[in-house]
Amino acid sequence: MFERALELDPQSVTAESWLARTLATRSTDQLSDSPAADIARGEGLVGTALAASPRSALARYARATVLRAQDRFEEAIPDYEMAIASDRNWLDAHANLGQCKFYAGSLEEYIPMVEQVIRLSPRDPLISVWLGRLGLAHMLQSRADEAIYWLEKARNADPGLPYIHARLAAARALKGEPDRAAAELTEARRLSGDEHYSSITRLSTEYLGVPKIRALYEDVYFAGLRIAGMPEK
């Protein structure tokens, strides 16, 4: 539909911005057959939109989303903040700003941002994702009880997300519950249906943020998964 809108009005900043945002999120959500091409096209669309309308909050939001897809989290933060300044209830901008802060290393700012997203939309279809983010943040700060509380809420909201079970496995292992941790890891593998949760080495190839955040993954999350039974390789 956004492509059709551009056909009708090739200079539409709105159509360019939304199409760029959609291409970027299709890539980050692992729904694209050609993520690099989608991101590159999104970057071009955003450049055209901002050249025509430099103060457009929507175009800035779209640029932030493209930057986020490129793992350029710190660069995306000002654009998301500008979008939120134009609309304090812009839910997706709040959620993505929090993720950018997280990967940029501002863990202390992250939890209040996720809590704000949940307050804005407590019955949102993505509530399990946000609850899972809270659980992860608490776990990385070695608060196993709080992590389990939020991760169980996330699992109850959507039992079909494998990464929630993997995080629960690590949190329960860190709390000293190896049997329950192993059961959660087994469920994560079953739901994933591939080799994603086969080893620490496999997981550690993902982008995990700045060195500060990567170190927390190594020292806390991966340590818990090892206890739960995940092999190194």
Domains of the chain are 130-233 (1.25.40.10)
pLDDT at residue 30 is higher than 90 = no
Amino acid 207: pLDDT: 86
Helices (H), the chain: 2-8, 13-28, 35-52, 57-69, 73-86, 91-103, 107-120, 127-140, 144-157, 162-174, 178-192, 200-204, 211-216, 222-228
Amino acid 91: pLDDT: 96
Mean pLDDT of 197-216: 94
Q: Residue 74 corresponds to which tokens in the numbers above? A: 């710190």
Amino acid 163: pLDDT: 96
Residues in the chain, overall count: 233
Closest by alpha carbon to 38, among 21, 57, 15, 51? 21
- This prediction has a pTM of 0.90
Mean pLDDT of 130-159: 97
pLDDT at residue 96 is higher than 90 = yes
Instruction: Report the mean per-residue pLDDT for the chain.
Output: 96
Q: Residue 163 corresponds to which tokens in the numbers above? A: 């990464």
